[in-house]
Amino acid sequence: MLTITPFLWFDTEAEEAMQFYTSIFPRSTVHAVHRARGRVLAVEFEIEGQRVMGLNAGPRHQFTEAFSFFVGCDTQDQIDDLWDQLIAGGGRPDQCGWLKDRFGLSWQIVPRSLGSMLGDPDPARAERVMHAMLEMVKLDLPALHRAYAGS
Helices 123-134 and 141-149: crossing angle, nearest 10°?
A: 150
State the virtual CA torsion across 82, 88, 92, 93 in degrees, nearest 10: 30
pLDDT band at 19 (very low <50, low <70, confident <90, very high): very high
pLDDT band at 110 (very low <50, low <70, confident <90, very high): very high
- In whole numbers, what is the pLDDT of the chain averaged over residues? 97
pLDDT tens by residue, 21-53: 999 999 999 999 999 999 999 999 999 999 999
Domains and CATH numbers, the chain: 1-60 (3.10.180.10), 63-151 (3.10.180.10)
Q: What is the pLDDT of residue 111?
A: 98
Mean pLDDT to the nearest integer, 120-144: 98
